[in-house]
Amino acid sequence: MAKTTGASEIEIARQIAGIFGEVLGAEHVPESASNFLDIGGDSLTAARAVALMSAQIGVR
């Protein structure tokens, strides 16, 4: 189960989009993006994104 720091769902979604953009090298990740693989991700960038999410927002 994900644990959070009390941030709103919208703020968490923004943080995750920022992390996705960081690992994908993209300036902007569309809010309509619902599948990491569809926006250029792969298993290695997914692992990196999960590590960053865990470190930055406490999501596992």
Residues 35-55 pLDDT 10s? 888 889 999 999 999 999 999
Query: Would 1 be classed as within a structural domain?
Result: no
Residue 2 within a domain: no
What is the domain range of residue 25? 9-57
- Structural domain tally of the chain? 1
pTM of the model: 0.76
The one-letter amino acid code at 54 reads: S
Residue type, 46: A
Residue 4 counted as domain residue: no
Residue 3 lies in a domain: no
Is 36 a member of any domain? yes
* Average pLDDT in the chain: 85
Q: Quick one: tokens of 40?
A: 């250029």
Tokens of 29: 């990740």
Q: What are the DSSP E strand ranges found in 1-60?
A: none
CA distance 4 to 8: 9
Residue 22 within any structural domain of the chain: yes
Residue 52 lies in a domain: yes
